[in-house]
A and B are shown apart, each in its own frame.
Chain A
Amino acid sequence: GAGVSQSPSNKVTEKGKDVELRCDPISGHTALYWYRQSLGQGLEFLIYFQGNSAPDKSGLPSDRFSAERTGGSVSTLTIQRTQQEDSAVYLCASSLAQGASPLHFGNGTRLTVT
C-alpha cells in the first residue's frame, strides 16, 4: 500500500516568505508526527497529533511555526517569515496507534531559505 507522502519534495524560498509543507499519512494511522532534520544531524521533534486530542506542540521552535491536521488525515506545517536557519529537511511520520507502533516516515521536504 501507499506510504507516507510529503510534498513538495524540495522547496526553495526567499527569506521572509511563508511556506506550507504537506503530509499525507498512511490511511488509518491516527498518530502523526513532524520532525526536522538539519544537514547531517539528528531528528528534532516538532509536533504530534493523535486522533482528536489536542496536539503536542512542545517541539515547535518559535511562534513562526504552526501545524494543523484536517479531518484526522492530511497535515500541513506552516512556517511564516522564513529565516535561513529554517533550512532543513522536514520529515513527517505516522503510526497506527500509540505506544510501540512503528513510525512510518515520508521522504521529507528539503527546505532551502535563501
Chain B
Amino acid sequence: QQQVKQSPQSLIVQKGGIPIINCAYENTAFDYFPWYQQFPGKGPALLIAIRPDVSEKKEGRFTISFNKSAKQFSLHIMDSQPGDSATYFCAAILYSSASKIIFGSGTRLSIRP
C-alpha cells in the first residue's frame, strides 16, 4: 500500500514533443505529490508539486494532471527541449508523517534534437 508505481522506465522524445510520465499510488491517505528532476551527477531537485484538491497544476512548460478517483497523476512537458533530458521521480507524501516520502522508481527521459 505504500508503493508508488512509475512508468515508463525510460522515454525518448523528439524535441518539441510532449513526454508524459505516469504514476499510480494505492494509499488514499497520501496528500502531497511532488515531482523531482535529477541531472547526472546531481541530486534531485523539486520541479513541481500538487495537492489532491486540484486536478491540474502548471508551472511554465511543466504540467501535473491529477486523477484522485483513479489514484493516478502524471507529468507532461510541453515543447520539450534537449535540456529537459534528465531522470524524473514522482513521489507521494503523508503530510502528517514527513518521513514517509515514497518515491517512484524514476523515468530516464531523453529529448533528441
Interchain CA distance A103-B51 in the complex, whole Å: 16
Query: A28-59 toward B: CB 8 Å interface, digit per residue (1/0)?
Result: 00010100000011110100101000001000
CB B12 to nearest CB in A, in angstroms, measures 15
Of the four ranges (under 10, 10 to 19, 20 to 34, 35 or more), the interface on chain B belongs to 20 to 34
- What residues of chain B lie closer than 8 Å to A104, measured between beta carbons? 45
Whether A108 contacts B43 by the Cβ 8 Å rule is yes
A100–B46 touching, CB < 8 Å: no
Smallest CB separation, A1 vs chain B (Å): 15
Q: Which residues of A contact B (CB under 8 A)?
A: 4, 31, 33, 40-43, 45, 48, 50, 56, 91, 93, 95, 97-108
Q: Are A107 and B41 neighbours in the complex by a CB distance under 8 Å? A: yes
- Determine the residue in chain B with the shortest Cβ distance to A58: B99
- The reply to whether A100 and B93 form a contact with Cβ atoms under 8 Å apart is yes
> Quick check: A102 and B43 within 8 Å, CB to CB?
no
Leading 9 A-B pairs by shortest Cβ distance: A105-B43, A98-B98, A48-B99, A102-B46, A42-B105, A56-B99, A43-B103, A99-B95, A100-B32
Contact B105 A93 (CB under 8 A): no
CA distance A68 to B32 in the complex (A): 28
Closest-by-CB residue of B relative to A108 is B43
13 CB < 8 A contacts A-B: A4-B43, A33-B99, A33-B101, A41-B105, A42-B104, A42-B106, A43-B103, A48-B99, A91-B44, A95-B98, A97-B98, A99-B96, A107-B41
Contacts A107-B43, A108-B43: A42 and B89 contacting too (C-beta < 8 A)?
yes
List residues of chain A with CB within 8 A of the CB of B41: 107
